[in-house]
Chain A
Amino acid sequence: MKFSEQLKSGVILDNPVFMQTIGLCPTLATTTSLQNAIGMGAAATVVLICSNIVISAMRRIIPDKIRIAAFITIIATFVTMIDLSMQAFLPSLASSLGLFLPLIVVNCIILGRAEAYASKNKVLPSALDGVVMGLGFTFALVLMGFFRELLGAGTILSGYVNGVNGIAVPFFHSNPMVMMILPAGGFLMMGFILAAIQKIMARKEDK
């Protein structure tokens, strides 16, 4: 498979969050702002690429019986490395992601790719698979984060641009739907995005 096709499949047609509905906890919990969404997506992508590479390289050494324990150890190591580095070099982002940063360990996407792909394929394709799936996950987070922040706070990229305030969007900023950044809004936004995707898919099939 060509990389562009693989990319299209991982990010859109086979998107881990929207199509396979895995990795929902961080998708719902950390997308209260675009900044958090990007941070979470990037952290998970790095862990996914690293764990895919290492697991693929060691696939012949790790006996079948203990593979899950070995995978979890390797993933947890990378997660802790990212967690500590973010606390050291990006402290404000680390504190706003909070508990969900170490919880990347139990993100089903990462263990799922280790089990389904990296443990059966060579290093380079596994690394590419990590990149593609990571981008797919990040894409889903960014989409959620963008709309939730826009509707819920009326800003874009608060935390990156203009210090804490971000870019204020006229109309939305004066009439924020605070509910969208509350827990209920996470479920609601995800439901509407999935409905939109189903609508688009149905239309494509009609043609």
Chain B
Amino acid sequence: MDNSKKEGGIVQLVVVLGLITFICALLLGVINGVTADKITQNGIETRNAAMAEIIPDADFEDLGTALSAEDVAAAGVTLPAGRTAAQIDGVYKATKDGEEIGYCVQVEPKGFGGNLTMIVGINADGTVAGAKVTSHAETPGLGAKSQADPNWITQFAGQTADGQLKVAKDGGTINAITGATITSRAVTDGVNTAAAYVATLG
């Protein structure tokens, strides 16, 4: 046991605390330098893997699009009554052997626990190629199934990409996840936003 008095003057307090904070900040700077690139890289890899799964064997070209929800609505994207368009993070044109076969769109619809990030693929023939949730903060066991249950999200593939899909509760064809209607609506919003936005590209 060490019970020595550790009383110090104000100068000592400032110097010691300042030194500790300085060393800590320095350490964090180093760690950040090591990990920052890797973290950005992880995000890109997740996105690329999702796109390759939805539209296989294609080359993707980043169109450099990034639109807030308001900008998307202003671009002429209208969703079924009562639903609002989602933010678009990026649009990627898919080509195979130089021929345009569709688009992948990264959208962020608003779910139950915050925004979901998802990739939606739209085929050139006007159907949905598929969708994949890449990150979310939904309730484990309920809304989290939008990402964890691989069978649920596949129902979007093959649907008409007219931006008018609805969950069954709202009179549409999409089967909602049991107990997670809000998440299901959010994913549907994401698919609709992507579909309607791609339609405006012509």
Asked if A and B form a direct contact in the complex, defined as CB atoms under 8 angstroms apart, the reply is: yes
Q: A-side interface residues toward B, CB under 8 Å?
A: 32-33, 58-66, 69-70, 73-74, 76-77, 80-81, 84-85, 87-89, 91, 95, 98, 120-121, 152-153, 158, 164, 178, 181-182
Nearest neighbor of A152 in chain B, beta-carbon distance? B141
- Of the candidates B16, B46, B135, B142, the one whose C-beta lies within 8 Å of that of A182 is B142
Question: In the complex, A66 Cα to B150 Cα: how many Å?
Answer: 52
Question: In the complex, A69 Cα to B20 Cα: how many Å?
Answer: 10
**B200 CB-CB contact with A under 8 Å:** no
28 contacts between A and B (CB under 8 A): A32-B141, A59-B2, A60-B2, A60-B6, A62-B6, A62-B16, A65-B7, A65-B13, A66-B17, A70-B20, A73-B20, A74-B20, A81-B27, A84-B31, A84-B39, A87-B42, A88-B34, A88-B38, A88-B39, A91-B42, A91-B46, A95-B135, A121-B1, A121-B2, A153-B141, A164-B148, A164-B150, A182-B141
A68 to chain B, nearest CB (A): 11
3 residue pairs, one from A and one from B, having the closest CB atoms: A181-B141, A32-B140, A88-B35
Most buried by A among B6, B7, B13, B139: B6
Q: Is the CB of A64 within 8 A of B6?
A: yes
Q: Which residues of B contact A74 (CB under 8 A)?
A: 20, 24
Chain B: interface secondary structure?
helix
Question: In the complex, A60 Cα to B35 Cα: how many Å?
Answer: 33
Q: Is the CB of A66 within 8 A of B141?
A: no
Q: Which residues of B contact A61 (CB under 8 A)?
A: 16
B73 to chain A, nearest CB (A): 29
A183 to chain B, nearest CB (A): 8
Q: Is the CB of B141 within 8 A of A178?
A: yes
Q: B-side interface residues toward A, CB under 8 Å?
A: 1-8, 12-13, 16-17, 20-21, 24, 27-28, 31-32, 34-35, 38-39, 42, 46, 135, 137, 139-142, 148, 150, 179
Q: Is the CB of B35 within 8 A of A66?
A: no
Q: A73-B24, A85-B31, A178-B141 are in contact. List 17 more A-B contacts (CB 8 A).
A: A60-B4, A62-B6, A63-B7, A64-B5, A65-B8, A65-B13, A69-B17, A70-B20, A80-B31, A81-B31, A85-B35, A88-B42, A91-B39, A91-B42, A91-B46, A120-B2, A182-B139
Question: In the complex, A182 Cα to B35 Cα: how many Å?
Answer: 33
Q: Which residues of B contact A182 (CB under 8 A)?
A: 139-142
B74 to chain A, nearest CB (A): 32
With contacts A63-B13, A77-B27 taken as known, whether A33 is within 8 angstroms of B150 at the C-beta atoms is no
Nearest neighbor of B37 in chain A, beta-carbon distance? A88
Nearest neighbor of B3 in chain A, beta-carbon distance? A120
Nearest neighbor of A179 in chain B, beta-carbon distance? B141
Q: Which residues of B contact A84 (CB under 8 A)?
A: 31-32, 35, 39
Q: Is the CB of A81 within 8 A of B13?
A: no
A188 to chain B, nearest CB (A): 14
A53 to chain B, nearest CB (A): 14
Nearest neighbor of B35 in chain A, beta-carbon distance? A88
With contacts A70-B17, A80-B31 taken as known, whether A87 is within 8 angstroms of B6 at the C-beta atoms is no
Q: Is the CB of B27 within 8 A of A63?
A: no
Q: Is the CB of B16 within 8 A of A89?
A: no
Q: Which residues of B contact A98 (CB under 8 A)?
A: 137
